[in-house]
Structure 1
């Protein structure tokens, strides 16, 4: 059982606490405070005081703090893994992926931040700015508020703090109230690694705490549902502050007739069931070209039956862990029941598993169509509907028939054809003969289209979004007076117009009266 934590922002005792349970056992593993708006404002104020000195450090100095943190994370990986499994209920292997990601993120942003945020020299073709030296520079926004989800309490919560800190911001992180303990462990890491006081803080609490963070931060990075994301965006718009939103997904996978079925099945199962299907990038619908549909489904059914689920133990104990978020279990069951009522068949699973924890058996559905919730709404669980299509054209049409557009996958032997199809899919990220591995490529942008969000993680924009842009122009050889200055001189403006005609190619010079 995790150490009982009863902290508010700043570590003061609180009267209101939230119980944190282990989804795989039902046992309470900790308590955290439900921070008030005032406590959030106090944390933001401390962050504002700390941020200028942090921003004044050069990139190399901030990178040294990241190096310490990376070493701490790897040396404490057993403790971190245990805590993620305990509060989230996921398989141990899925928790290890979160640690690997953050270790890589520390290394990536420590190395890349300086170049990605460097001053950029600007050249202009205009003769009217001759002699000027011009450049742009990136300036930290100030205090970044990160609101993290429950499905990946390290990767999608603390992971977003890393590039924000690398850009010179202070960060206040509000983790999900269902999985807050890992974030508090990262706050301990920052203290033990000697990070400057208040540069990284954690405030725990429910929805009102997150709302208070949106009301006070200079930038909001939100990961969660599309419904809540709209509210975050609306409030950020009222305050005229930027935000980045990684929201829902209904990610599709297309199996072409020339695909290696062994590869296709392995990629499909990994994409659908890793982290118990509780990821925005989980494969939630599959379209298979008719010539290989039967063979694909037969092999997929065989492999689904081999998937183990239940309470996580050591490595290799289970493939699929618990359902972390209590209401999500009801959503998954509703989507399966809706599909069956409308004519779908359950080939494997299809029901909740016995407790005491929250489990749903890995479920394979066929004979599905777009009239079913499981093909249109985000399920976020260990289920997979598979649909037969006549050809790739029908697959593309159905993939794009969605309000979501986060990620998609194409499986096929002819990579040139697969690439042409991939470029027609309405999704921010597309993988070919892979699923989800692109998330580990921190140099590659990752973000959604349509209702799946705004902005990106990773890539150049994944750190530049945490800055504001300043343009600087320097007149290196200033004259006493320029041609265009007041009081206006008609002869000077005639000269300017002749110059414009010469530069931009009009046939007849203007004749000014």
Structure 2
């Protein structure tokens, strides 16, 4: 098996004519899957101008006309389901059971917006909260932006991009998607499918490192999913143009284990919540705070559960390859940094090809990057705390927790935790908030 240096490369095309090409490499075995053009800023501008022109016709169809084309597109997705699932599996390294679920999510999101579009887009007449006796009525109507830009991640390259693209299309906007350069192929296939059914030309995909900033410079509204660091750049660039943006940013989801918890259930569930899909779920558990009196007992149980996530026989693995070779380097460096600063390695800790061993770190503290920076890998850092109050305070510290689970037998403590972390989703003795599929709405 050959190990790829990176999950993709960007190289100049032959000669001096034409844009660079993205070479997309399969994470599973390092072979080249395909090469695709990397768009220049001028090409992105031209694409957005085409979309802007086409959006006029698209809006004029009305919601019924747009739903007609979305229904035909849904049929195309179903008819090409097998090929899309295989392609998504090939470029992400995920097993087809995972990519099948991701495509299902996309279709479910389409059905949701298709079914509820008229209600979502209908005008409203809210009560006017003016001074008594004022003769005034308010009406709220929705008008789509001409072109919406979607910058998607490599973690769920199909579902998370389409969760943003579909409501924009339903509303009457044209959409340009810039997928991660790690995983551009499935979204390109989706755009080709949209064109193949004869739908209005209001959906395009652009690729390459220069394409993201160019999209930001051209569209009327931006949706971004990714790291907080890149999100800051996106927000500033959107602010400079005074265009609205919506950011779905990563963080470090948390589990809190209190002294009265069922430790067996907590350990098994936290291992699942942190290691499923190699920890590449944006909601995966990346910090575990444990009360001191049960710290050692819990840690031993967590190590046993984590060991069960190693490879098994044949081609089926509980932890498979990671999508991004570059990201494996980040995970390796976070583990190395923690060990140099005094953390203890209880299992795992090693990258093998495009996989990273399920890892448990003990004696972790806030000086370590593994506790303060998003990991998106199969690493569970465990922190000893004196009491519940300390654990809750630490869980609220930056970079923030997309979701939290609290493990306790005291229902009142669990209820207070829900209120303390609101509006963050909280599971009490439940890890589903960490492993549930990303919600389309």
Matched, 1:126 2:131: yes
Q: Match of 1:189?
A: 193
Matched, 1:51 2:55: yes
Matched, 1:136 2:136: no
- How big is each residue's C-alpha offset from its partner over 1:235-261, in whole Å with a ceiling of 9 and x where there is no partner? 111111001112221111112344444
- How big is each residue's C-alpha offset from its partner over 1:449-477, in whole Å with a ceiling of 9 and x where there is no partner? xxxxxxxxx2xxxxxxxxxxxxxxxxxxx
Indicate how the Cα distance of structure 1 residues 17 and 293 shifts in structure 2: closer, same or farther if over 3 A, else same. Answer: same
Q: Match of 1:480?
A: none
Q: Match of 2:97?
A: 93
Deviation, structure 1 residue 388: 2.7
* SS of residue paired to 1:121: coil
Q: Match of 1:319?
A: 318
Indicate how the Cα distance of structure 1 residues 180 and 268 shifts in structure 2: closer, same or farther if over 3 A, else same. Answer: same
- Say which of 394, 400, 403 aligns to 1:404: 400
Give the distance between the partners of 2:37 and 2:438, measured in 1 at CA: 33
Q: Is the 8 A contact 1:25 1:311 kept in 2?
A: no
- How big is each residue's C-alpha offset from its partner over 1:191-212, in whole Å with a ceiling of 9 and x where there is no partner? 234422x211111112x11111
* SS of residue paired to 1:222: strand
Q: Where in structure 2 are the equivalents of 1:376-415 lying within 5 Å?
A: 376-415=372-411
Q: Match of 2:413?
A: 417
* SS of residue paired to 2:28: coil
Deviation, structure 1 residue 190: 1.1
Give the distance between the partners of 1:49 and 1:149, measured in 2 at CA: 28
Q: Is the 8 A contact 1:89 1:311 kept in 2?
A: no
Q: Match of 1:160?
A: 164
Give the distance between the partners of 1:310 and 1:14, measured in 2 at CA: 46
Indicate how the Cα distance of structure 1 residues 45 and 399 shifts in structure 2: closer, same or farther if over 3 A, else same. Answer: same
* SS of residue paired to 1:120: coil
Deviation, structure 1 residue 293: 3.3
Give the distance between the partners of 2:63 and 2:250, measured in 1 at CA: 34
Q: Is the 8 A contact 2:257 2:407 kept in 1?
A: yes
Q: Where in structure 2 are the equivalents of 1:103-502 lying within 5 Å?
A: 103-124=107-128, 125-127=130-132, 129-130=134-135, 132-196=136-200, 198-206=201-209, 208-309=210-311, 313=315, 317-353=316-352, 355=353, 358-425=354-421, 428-432=424-428, 433=430, 434-436=432-434, 440-442=438-440, 458=441
Give the distance between the partners of 1:71 and 1:291, measured in 2 at CA: 56
Indicate how the Cα distance of structure 1 residues 77 and 256 shifts in structure 2: closer, same or farther if over 3 A, else same. Answer: farther
* SS of residue paired to 1:364: strand
Give the distance between the partners of 2:122 and 2:409, measured in 1 at CA: 41
Give the distance between the partners of 1:409 and 1:127, measured in 2 at CA: 48
Q: Is the 8 A contact 2:272 2:435 kept in 1?
A: no
| Gaps in structure 1 of 5+ consecutive residues | 1-5, 7-12, 443-457, 459-513
Normalising by structure 1, report the TM-score. Answer: 0.77
Deviation, structure 1 residue 440: 4.7
Deviation, structure 1 residue 20: 0.4
Q: Where in structure 2 are the equivalents of 1:10-21 lying within 5 Å?
A: 14-21=18-25
Indicate how the Cα distance of structure 1 residues 349 and 167 shifts in structure 2: closer, same or farther if over 3 A, else same. Answer: same
Whichever of the two has the greater Rg, that structure is: 1
Q: Match of 1:509?
A: none
| Higher alpha-carbon deviation: 148-157 or 209-218 | 148-157
- How big is each residue's C-alpha offset from its partner over 1:243-286, in whole Å with a ceiling of 9 and x where there is no partner? 11122211111123444444423431232122211233221011
Normalising by structure 2, report the TM-score. Answer: 0.89
Indicate how the Cα distance of structure 1 residues 304 and 261 shifts in structure 2: closer, same or farther if over 3 A, else same. Answer: same
Deviation, structure 1 residue 312: 10
Deviation, structure 1 residue 426: 7.1
Give the distance between the partners of 1:56 and 1:398, measured in 2 at CA: 52
Deviation, structure 1 residue 56: 2.6
**How many residue pairs end up in the alignment?**
423
Indicate how the Cα distance of structure 1 residues 77 and 133 shifts in structure 2: closer, same or farther if over 3 A, else same. Answer: same
Indicate how the Cα distance of structure 1 residues 194 and 311 shifts in structure 2: closer, same or farther if over 3 A, else same. Answer: farther
Give the distance between the partners of 2:297 and 2:39, measured in 1 at CA: 54
Q: Match of 2:77?
A: 73
